[in-house]
C-alpha cells in the first residue's frame, strides 16, 4: 500500500486525473484519437465499443497496441481495457470467433448457477485472450416491467433472488478467472419505462420498496466481492430529491453505495454521452459532478480530441478552483491502482500476451453455451414437438433473417416443403395477409426488444383461423407471448447461436 501511495505522490495532477478517464474507442485499428488519449491525456482506460470488435485476432492487435502505447508513451501504467461482453466474448464480435452465450434472461430461465458460473469463466478466459480485462457485466437489474424499453432480456428475470443468485455466479466466474466484473445499473433500471440512452428514467418508489427489491441484487453482488459497480443515469426521488441521476448524485453514489452498502471497489459511471445526463449537462460538466458524487471512473464518449480535451480540462479546473479537492482525486486513483495491482496491471507485473487462438471457441466452451440453451428452451401454449415421420416435406418455414442457423438446421430434417425469409419480424404481418401460405407453418421470429402487439395479434388471428397449422419459435421477449395465446410456441428469449440450435432440437423433441 505504501508503494502505491508513493507512486501516486510522484504523479502529476494531470497524470492522476488521466487515470480516472476511460474513453470510448470506436474503430478496428489503433487510431490517432486513441493514441492521443493515451499519450497526451494519460488515460487510465479504453472502452471497446461495437465498432472496435470484429474478430479475436484483430481485437488482440488493437489492445496490445493500446497497452504498449500506455507503457511507453502514456502514463507508464497498463490500461483497463473494457467491453460490454454481457453475453460472452463473442456476443459483440462482428465476424465471430468466440463463444456467444444466451442473454441473461435465458440464463435465468435455465436456472443453473453452476452453468452461469461457467459462462463467466469462459467469458473471462476468452476476453483475456483478446486483451480485454474489464467487463461491464453482469446486468443485475430486475426486469419486472414489461414496458421497459432497454433492459429486457439483458436481465436475469423478474425475481430478485434469482437475479441476485445468477448475477453472483457470473461475477465469481469472471473474477476468479482474472477479469473484473461490474454489477449494473445501480440502483436499478428494471422497473422503468424510459431508456436512459434517450432521457432520464425515474424510479418513483419509496425506500422500503427499494431496499426490499431493486437494491437486493446489488447488496448480494457486493457480498460476493464484485470489484466494480456501474452507476446508472436514473433519478430516484426517495434517495435524492434534487432530481439528479444516480451517476451524479452524492447521496446515491457515496451516501448509499459507498457508505451505507459498504462498497469498497470501483464506481464506474454509465456512458456520459447518454441523454440521461446530456439532456441537462455537458459531458465536461458531468465529469466534474460525477467525481463530486464519488465516481472513480468516468466513461467518456468523445468523438474527437477536440471533444475530449474540455472534459479533462474541466476536472483539472475544478481542482484548481477548489470544487474538487486533490485528496478526492487521490482517493479514486488509489482505488484504481489497487485494482490494477490485484489484476496484474502494474508495470512490474504486466506482460503482453501473445495471441493464442486455441483459447477461443473451444468445444468444451461451446458446450457450456448449448447446455444453457437447452435448459432455457420453454414450451408454451400447448406446444408439442413435431414428429419427423409425419412431417416430411409438409411444413413451410417463415423465418427472420437473423435466425439463419435455425433455418439451416430445420432444413436438414427434410420436413419443409417451402420457405419464406423475412427481412424483419414485422414482415410476417403482410405475409399472413397475402393468403399465399398453404398448409402448416413454422414461424421463427426475433427482436431485441418487445415486438409490436399488432404484428403478434395478426399471427394469433391467423393461428385461430388455421387450428393446428401454426407453430411459433420465438427468439424474443417472454412478454410478447401474451399476444399469441392461440399459438403453440417455443420460447428461446434471444437469437444466440446456441439458442437457435436448441430450438431446432426442441422443435422435433430431440
Q: Please check whether residue 107 lies inside any domain of the structure.
A: yes
- Considering the domain architecture, whether residues 222 and 93 belong to the same structural domain is answered as yes
The total number of structural domains in the chain stands at: 2
CATH number of the domain enclosing 415:
3.40.50
Cell of 327: 485528496
- Identify the pLDDT of residue 166: 98
The verdict on residue 1 lying in a domain is no
CATH of the domain at 249: 3.20.20.300
- 77 with 28, same domain: the answer is yes
Q: Are residues 332 and 466 located together in one domain of the fold?
A: no
Does any domain span residue 421? yes
Which of 240, 270, 296, 400 is labelled catalytic? 270
Catalytic residue among 177, 197, 427, 452: 197
Instruction: Residue 426: give the domain boundaries.
Output: 377-507
What pLDDT is attached to residue 149? 59
To the query of whether residue 301 is one of the catalytic residues in this protein, the response is no
Domain end marker among 360, 389, 412: 360
- Mention every residue, 6+ apart, whose C-beta is less than 8 A from residue 48: 25, 59, 62, 63, 81, 82, 83, 132
What's the rounded Cα separation, in Å, for the pair 36 and 9? 24
- Residues 146 and 450 sit within 8 Å (Cβ to Cβ): yes
Q: For every residue of 410-457, which 3-state class applies, written as one string?
A: HHCCCCEEEEEEECCHHHHHHHHHHCCCCCCEEEEEECCCCCCHHHHH
- Is 304 in the same domain as 330? yes
**349 and 383 fall within a common domain:** no
- Considering the domain architecture, whether residues 40 and 156 belong to the same structural domain is answered as yes
Catalytic site includes residue 197: yes
Per-residue pLDDT of the chain (510 residues; tens, 9 = 90+): 578 888 899 999 999 999 999 999 999 999 999 999 999 999 999 999 999 999 999 999 999 999 999 999 999 999 999 999 999 999 999 999 999 999 999 999 999 999 999 999 999 999 999 999 999 999 999 988 777 656 778 899 999 999 999 999 999 999 999 999 999 999 988 777 666 677 788 889 999 999 999 999 999 999 999 999 999 999 999 999 999 999 999 999 999 999 999 999 999 999 998 888 888 999 999 999 999 999 999 999 998 999 999 999 999 999 999 999 999 999 999 999 999 999 999 999 999 999 999 999 999 999 999 999 999 999 999 999 998 666 567 899 999 999 999 999 999 998 999 999 999 999 999 999 888 888 899 999 999 888 999 999 999 999 999 999 999 999 999 999 999 999 999 999 999 999 999 999 999 987
Domain end position, chosen among 360, 389, 414: 360
Amino acid at each position: 500500500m505504501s508503494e502505491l501511495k508513493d507512486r501516486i505522490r510522484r504523479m502529476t495532477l494531470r497524470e492522476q486525473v488521466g487515470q480516472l478517464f476511460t474513453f470510448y474507442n470506436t474503430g478496428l485499428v489503433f487510431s490517432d484519437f486513441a493514441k492521443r488519449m493515451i499519450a497526451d491525456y494519460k488515460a487510465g482506460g479504453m472502452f471497446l465499443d461495437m465498432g472496435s470488435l470484429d474478430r479475436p485476432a484483430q481485437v488482440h492487435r488493437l489492445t496490445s497496441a493500446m497497452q504498449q502505447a500506455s507503457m511507453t508513451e502514456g502514463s507508464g501504467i497498463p490500461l483497463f481495457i473494457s467491453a460490454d461482453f454481457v453475453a460472452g466474448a463473442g456476443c459483440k464480435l462482428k465476424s465471430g470467433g468466440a463463444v456467444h452465450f444466451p442473454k441473461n434472461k435465458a440464463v435465468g430461465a435455465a436456472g443453473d448457477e453452476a452453468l452461469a458460473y461457467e459462462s463467466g469463466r469462459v467469458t473471462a478466459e476468452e476476453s483475456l485472450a483478446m486483451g480485454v480485462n474489464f467487463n461491464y457485466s453482469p446486468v443485475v437489474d430486475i426486469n419486472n416491467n414489461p414496458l421497459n424499453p432497454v433492459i429486457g432480456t439483458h436481465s436475469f428475470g423478474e425475481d430478485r433472488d434469482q437475479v441476485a443468485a445468477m448475477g453472483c455466479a457470473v461475477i465469481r466466474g469472471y473474477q476468479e478467472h482474472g477479469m473484473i466484473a461490474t454489477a449494473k445499473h445501480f440502483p436499478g433500471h428494471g422497473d422503468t419505462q424510459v431508456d436512459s440512452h434517450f432521457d432520464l428514467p425515474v424510479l418513483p418508489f419509496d425506500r422500503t420498496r427499494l431496499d426490499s427489491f431493486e437494491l437486493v441484487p446489488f447488496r448480494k453482488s457486493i457480498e460476493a466481492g464484485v470489484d466494480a459497480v456501474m452507476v446508472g443515469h436514473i433519478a430516484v426521488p426517495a434517495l435524492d430529491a434534487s432530481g439528479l441521476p444516480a451517476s451524479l448524485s452524492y447521496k446515491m453514489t457515496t451516501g448509499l453505495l459507498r457508505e451505507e452498502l459498504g462498497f469498497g471497489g470501483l464506481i464506474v459511471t454509465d456512458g456520459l454521452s447518454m441523454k440521461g445526463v446530456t439532456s441537462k449537462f455537458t459531458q465536461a460538466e458531468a465529469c466534474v459532478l460525477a467525481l463530486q458524487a464519488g465516481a472513480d471512473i468516468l466513461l467518456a464518449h468523445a468523438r474527437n480530441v477536440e471533444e475530449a480535451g474540455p472534459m479533462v480540462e474541466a476536472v483539472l479546473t475544478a481542482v484548481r478552483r477548489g470544487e474538487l479537492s486533490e485528496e478526492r482525486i487521490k482517493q479514486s486513483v488509489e482505488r484504481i491502482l489497487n485494482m490494477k495491482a490485484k489484476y496484474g496491471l502494474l508495470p512490474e507485473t504486466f506482460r503482453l500476451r501473445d495471441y493464442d487462438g486455441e483459447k477461443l471457441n473451444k468445444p468444451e466452451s461451446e458446450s457450456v453455451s448449448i447446455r444453457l440453451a437447452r435448459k432455457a428452451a420453454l414450451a408454451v401454449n400447448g406446444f408439442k414437438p413435431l414428429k419427423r415421420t409425419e412431417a416430411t416435406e409438409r411444413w413451410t418455414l417463415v423465418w427472420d433473417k437473423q435466425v439463419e442457423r435455425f433455418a439451416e438446421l430445420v432444413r436438414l430434417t427434410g420436413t419443409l416443403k417451402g420457405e419464406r425469409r423475412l427481412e424483419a419480424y414485422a414482415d410476417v404481418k403482410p405475409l399472413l395477409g397475402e393468403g399465399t401460405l398453404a398448409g402448416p407453418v413454422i414461424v421463427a421470429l426475433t427482436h431485441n426488444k418487445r415486438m409490436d402487439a399488432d404484428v403478434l395479434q395478426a399471427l394469433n388471428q391467423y393461428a385461430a383461423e388455421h387450428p393446428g397449422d401454426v407453430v411459433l419459435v420465438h427468439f424474443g421477449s417472454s412478454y410478447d407471448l401474451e399476444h399469441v395465446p392461440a399459438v403453440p410456441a417455443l420460447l428461446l428469449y434471444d437469437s444466440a447461436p446456441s439458442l437457435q440450435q436448441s430450438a431446432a432440437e426442441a422443435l422435433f423433441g430431440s
